[in-house]
């Protein structure tokens, strides 16, 4: 027997010992892993959206089956309701405040904590800790802080210009006091996002810019900030979607008052659906909320996320 025959024999024996692969085995395996998640997604996301869309076309109190079909009257009522239009305006104010104040402050704090400071790990923990608290816990905490007679609450209320020193009792200042609470709760989350993105920027880039004579502001403006662009856009997306769905904190602290001064779309939906038993109208409001969130998400995916992905692929191709 030749050496070539001895060399090929184990391989040939191994090939004969292998079982033939079933054509659909891989597909069945993938389907088996995806099916539980797909069932949950359909039951917890798709079905509620379909049910809400169906009940929004009825004048229905939530008991029995909906029978009084009204078509698009609930949507017409919503966009003619001063309370709901006020919800849209207040939501827009909160979004603008978040984009103008909260996110830049989080970015500045992230840049500060990226420096070689003594005890910076402790500072990061302290600033991130509010995000760990639930919205209900945060609301109860600040209800105590803004109680009349509390030094810090009275000081903040006087800065906001609240009448009687109670920011949550004044319709003109309650929304801004609510924004302070939201910022305290979520700025640590955005700070961690920016900090993680900043640490992923190669140090060689900033060192090269410094060698070329750029000052710290120029390095931040022309090197750091553009590279933080994808993270900043994700942060904006999360902030806008979260504001559109804001409910827990508002309901615990103010229930939308006083005089609808802090009411959001989610609070109005809850009021009509579970307090006044106008479930059809509440479903229409929920569909509007879903539509606004969906439009913004599609806009983000089409114009922002696609550009970030294409840029990442292009950069990877250049590096290769």
Q: How many domains does the chain have?
A: 1
Whether 221 maps to a domain, the answer reads: yes
Band of the pLDDT at 271, cuts 50, 70, 90? very high
> Is 46 a residue whose pLDDT tops 90?
yes
Mean pLDDT of 254-274: 92
Q: What is the mean pLDDT of the chain?
A: 86
> Is 245 a residue whose pLDDT tops 50?
yes
Whether 241 maps to a domain, the answer reads: yes
The dihedral of CA 219, 222, 226, 232: what is its sign? positive
CATH code at 181?
1.10.3720.10
Q: What is the pLDDT of residue 318?
A: 41
Whether 251 maps to a domain, the answer reads: yes
> Is 16 a residue whose pLDDT tops 70?
no
Helical axes 279-299 vs 47-55, angle rounded to 10°: 130
The dihedral of CA 216, 222, 228, 232: what is its sign? positive
Q: How many residues make up the chain in this entry?
A: 320
Band of the pLDDT at 171, cuts 50, 70, 90? confident
Tens of pLDDT, residues 286-308:
999 999 999 999 988 887 766 66
Range of the domain at 186: 84-265
Q: What is the pLDDT of residue 266?
A: 95
Band of the pLDDT at 262, cuts 50, 70, 90? very high
Q: Is 69 helix (H, G, I), strand (E, B) or coil?
A: strand
Band of the pLDDT at 200, cuts 50, 70, 90? very high
On the CB side of 94, how many CA atoms lie within 13 Å of its CA? Answer: 30
Mean pLDDT of 258-287: 94
∠ CA 300-301-306 to the nearest 5 degrees? 115
Whether 165 maps to a domain, the answer reads: yes
User: Cα dist. 82→29, 262, 264, 265 in Å?
Assistant: 54, 14, 12, 12
Whether 307 maps to a domain, the answer reads: no
Whether 89 maps to a domain, the answer reads: yes
Tens of pLDDT, residues 159-168:
887 766 688 8
Range of lowest pLDDT (89-93, 120-124, 156-160, 163-167): 163-167
Residues 272, 77: Cα–Cα separation, whole Å: 13
> Is 1 a residue whose pLDDT tops 60?
no
Whether 217 maps to a domain, the answer reads: yes
Whether 199 maps to a domain, the answer reads: yes
Q: Which residues pair with 58 in a beta bridge?
A: 69
Q: What is the pLDDT of residue 187?
A: 92
């Amino acid at each position: 027997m030749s050496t070539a025959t001895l060399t090929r024999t184990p391989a040939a024996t191994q090939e004969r010992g292998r079982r033939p692969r079933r054509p659909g085995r891989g597909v069945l395996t993938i389907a088996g892993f995806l099916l539980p998640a797909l069932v949950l997604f359909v039951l917890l996301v798709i079905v509620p959206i379909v049910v809400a869309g169906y009940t929004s076309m009825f004048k229905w109190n939530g008991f029995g089956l909906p029978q009084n079909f009204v078509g698009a009257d609930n949507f017409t009522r919503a966009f003619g309701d001063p309370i709901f239009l006020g919800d849209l305006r207040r939501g827009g104010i909160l979004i603008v405040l978040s984009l103008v104040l909260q996110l830049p402050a989080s970015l500045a704090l992230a840049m500060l904590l990226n420096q070689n400071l003594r005890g910076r790990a402790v500072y990061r923990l302290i600033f991130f800790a509010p995000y760990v608290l639930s919205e209900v816990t945060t609301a109860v905490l600040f209800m105590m802080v803004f109680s009349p007679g509390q030094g810090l609450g009275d000081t903040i209320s006087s800065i906001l210009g609240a009448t009687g020193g109670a920011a949550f009792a004044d319709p003109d200042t309650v929304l801004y006091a609510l924004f302070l609470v939201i910022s305290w709760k979520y700025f640590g989350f955005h700070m961690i996002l920016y900090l993680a993105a900043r640490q992923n920027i190669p140090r060689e880039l900033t060192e090269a810019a410094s060698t070329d004579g750029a000052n710290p502001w120029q390095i931040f403006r022309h090197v750091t900030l553009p590279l933080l662009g994808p993270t900043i856009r994700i942060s904006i997306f999360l902030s806008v979607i979260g504001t559109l769905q804001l409910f827990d904190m508002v309901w615990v602290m103010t229930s939308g008052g006083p005089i609808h001064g802090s009411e959001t779309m989610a609070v109005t939906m809850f009021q009509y659906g579970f307090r006044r038993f106008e479930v059809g109208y509440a479903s229409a409001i929920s569909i509007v909320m879903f539509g606004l969130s969906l439009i913004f998400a599609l806009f983000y995916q089409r114009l922002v996320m696609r550009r970030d992905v294409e840029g990442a692929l292009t950069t990877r191709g250049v590096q290769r």
